[in-house]
Amino acid sequence: MSWLLTLPIMLPMLMAVVVFLLRNQPGAGRLVSIFGCAVLLGLAIALMVVVWDQGVLAAQMGSWPAPFGITLVADLLSAVMVLITAITGFAVAVYALADIDHKRERRGYHALFQVLLAGVCGAFLTGDLFNLYVWFEVMLIASFGLLVLGGDKAQLDGGIKYVALNLVSTVFFLMGIGLLYGMTGTLNLADLHGAVMAVENQGLLTVVAVLFIVAFGIKSAVFPLFFWLPASYHVPPVAVSAVFAGLLTKVGVYALIRMFTLVFTQDVSFTHELLLIIALFTMVTGVLGAAAQNEFRKILSFHIISQIGYMVLGLALYTPLAIVGAVFYLVHHIIVKANLFLISGVAKRIAGSFELSRIGGLYAGAPLLAFLFLIPAFSLAGFPPLSGFWAKYLLIEASLEIEAYFVAFIALLVGLLTVYSMTKIWGEAFWKPHPDGRTPRLSMLTRRERWSLLAPIMGLAAMTVGIGLYPDPFIVFAERAAEQLLQPESYVRAVLGEPSS
């Protein structure tokens, strides 16, 4: 079954080559891109089924035995992240049919998009620290390209900030890898799990752990390292910023969860306490930033930051229930956040701007869009019975369980403030009449545009409602995933083989 682990990486890479060759025939390129995403979705489902049935799956690349070669591993967390990547990728590929202009297609939008998916899947599936760095870079260079593709002035401006700060994060990551290798002599994550126990100077290990917190903290946009995100996520086309918003920062969170459950667990009272403080500040600053903005996508960008705080909070509390909450939150958030960005694109398309003061009347003119906005917006804020309610419920229950009342209070307060800024979008974009006196209608879009823009939004909204109404299987899943994370023996055994052999 080990070939199944390589396919989610190989397929998008192959598709990238094909669509690059087809870049002058946009019609064929689009079809290939969508076909690639559909096959990726099938592969991700297959991988999920196999991992659910058989437990952690590992494959040694080039048949080099475990701690020496590169290992690909999929536990439940990896599998679900690949699945959600495929879902988001597919939704955005359909949306891009109407959202990406011919100029950007000719310059290689589809190829970069596929490389981005390959990088994200690679980062989720690798079991080797240096290989993780390589996948981060693949993802990063593709995202650089996507961000500035088209070359609008605002894109260049936002792009510089994005590129500069992400490169700094890369260097921190690399330095952390070097120092960790110097202390342990291995880069295999499963091998590191055991090797860090044998390090003599545990204090030095904690220093390296902090280097990793900074590196992944910049990637996942936590306080006070998030400034690149609101500077850049609102400049590219919506089909680009939706996939960024859904996936990129979450790769950082995934890396944090992986490293701080598998490797750096020797000084939990320091590292996870630090993460807890970071998480609380991230939640509060993110939501306050959102309240101060007046642009659709900038509000959503600040919300990403605040929501990242919740996920890091789950990791930082480091109880079984809290990890369950973090995993559930991760999955729920990717769907909801990508969807909100997609909706902002439709709103801009028919009402004319992302600036809330320049638009309005969407409720009167396009009630369907208003309804579709309310689902992810309420879910993000944590209204029952949507997916966000269960995500927040799990985290707050986890904090009450260990009597961290202040943490629970902040989590509830941030939820309330999220409602406030969602109300602002609702009031400005949907409720008030359009300042130019026109009525934005969905019928302004062509039939083809309506299909390719609204179908992904409806699909993602249906998933949000589905998770909200039938949370049981998802919570059971998250519990098993959390169990694998907190007791990494099965992960280590899958990679290194039985201890006796």
Indicate the residue among 30 and 258 with the shorter CB distance to another protein: 30
Q: Closest approach of Cβ 358 to another protein, in Å?
A: 4
Q: Closest approach of Cβ 80 to another protein, in Å?
A: 28
Indicate the residue among 156 and 416 with the shorter CB distance to another protein: 156
CB 261 within 8 A of CB 486: yes
Q: Closest approach of Cβ 124 to another protein, in Å?
A: 19
Indicate the residue among 432 and 438 with the shorter CB distance to another protein: 438
DSSP code string of 129-155: HHHHHHHHHHHHHHHHHHHHTT--HHH
Indicate the residue among 384 and 433 with the shorter CB distance to another protein: 433
Indicate the residue among 101 and 273 with the shorter CB distance to another protein: 101
- How many Å apart are CA 412 and CA 469, to the nearest integer? 21
Q: Closest approach of Cβ 343 to another protein, in Å?
A: 16
Q: Residue 192: which residues within 8 A CB-CB, separation 6 or more?
A: 129, 180, 184, 186, 262, 263
Q: Closest approach of Cβ 95 to another protein, in Å?
A: 11
Give the footprint of another protein on this chain (CB under 8 A): 98-102, 104, 130, 133-134, 137, 140-141, 144, 148, 150-151, 153-154, 156-161, 163-164, 167-168, 170-171, 174-175, 177-179, 181-183, 230-232, 234-238, 294, 348-353, 355, 357-359, 435-436, 438, 443-446, 449
Q: 3-state SS of 224-250?
A: CCCCHHHHHCCCCCHHHHHHHHHHHHH
- How many Å apart are CA 267 and CA 321, to the nearest integer? 20
Q: 3-state SS of 382-423?
A: CCCCCHHHHHHHHHHHHHHHCCCHHHHHHHHHHHHHHHHHHH
- How many Å apart are CA 27 and CA 42, to the nearest integer? 23
Q: Closest approach of Cβ 68 to another protein, in Å?
A: 9
Indicate the residue among 393 and 451 with the shorter CB distance to another protein: 451
Q: Closest approach of Cβ 161 to another protein, in Å?
A: 8
In the block, which residue shows the tokens 């509000």?
299
Local structure of 67: helix, strand or coil: coil
Nearest to 140 by CA among 221, 19, 248: 248
Indicate the residue among 444 and 486 with the shorter CB distance to another protein: 444
